[in-house]
Amino acid sequence: MFPPSTQRVFRADPRSFDLREEHHRATFSACELSPEKVLITIHGEVDAANSRALACYVERRMAGFTRLVLDLQTVEFFGAAGFAALSNINITCRRMGVDWTLLAGSHVWRLLRICDCDRELPVSRDASATKYLRTRPSDSKLLVGGNH
């Protein structure tokens, strides 16, 4: 038998849970990468039911930062209303002086090829951008006790 010992258990920062929101089949979350840079990750589906909430969430979360990384790599559906949200985010970032980068998954790319022909949105084509890829929302249920 092993002697009693201390085990370290990872517990997410409780302040980060209020940065996570669910809006009609999508989960929005944000985390600070540095004092000037914020990462906002979107999982699920972006459509007319939640595209406005997406634009508002990004606007609220980028306040106080000078750089934004918007991660849409794990989005499973991206409708035309999502493109309108991205255009709104682009305008807001310009107005606030925020330098931003969009990490697009295959569903987002499909729509951007049609809607953003002039490539006005700052989509990252850098392979190193995948370092920002986070776990899926279903993985985080373990942290909050959802899988009992």
Burial 44-59 (b: 16+ CB within 10 A, else e): bbbbeebbebbbbbbb
Q: Is residue 5 part of a domain?
A: no
Residue 23's pLDDT is what?
79
Q: Is residue 132 part of a domain?
A: no
Residue 143's pLDDT is what?
36
Domain count, the chain: 1
Residue 1's pLDDT is what?
58
- What is the domain extent for residue 57? 20-117
Q: Is residue 97 part of a domain?
A: yes
Residue 132's pLDDT is what?
53
Q: Is residue 52 part of a domain?
A: yes
Q: Is residue 103 part of a domain?
A: yes
Rounded average pLDDT per 10-residue block, the chain, 148 residues: 56 52 87 93 94 94 94 94 96 95 94 91 71 47 38
Q: Are the beta carbons of 110 and 121 closer than 8 angstroms?
A: no
Cα atoms in the Cβ-side hemisphere of radius 13 Å centred on 104: 21
**What is the spatial distance between Cα 50 and Cα 36, in angstroms, rounded to a whole number?**
27
Q: Is residue 6 part of a domain?
A: no
Residue 18's pLDDT is what?
54
Q: Is residue 11 part of a domain?
A: no
Residue 100's pLDDT is what?
97
This prediction's pTM: 0.74
Q: The domain spanning residue 55 has which CATH number?
A: 3.30.750.24
Sheet-wide strand order for 67-78: 21-23, 26-34, 37-46, 67-78, 99-104
**C-alpha closest to that of 19 among 9, 28, 10, 11:** 28
Q: Is residue 83 part of a domain?
A: yes
Residue 145's pLDDT is what?
38
**Residue 78 burial (CB count, 10 A):** 25
Residue 21's pLDDT is what?
75
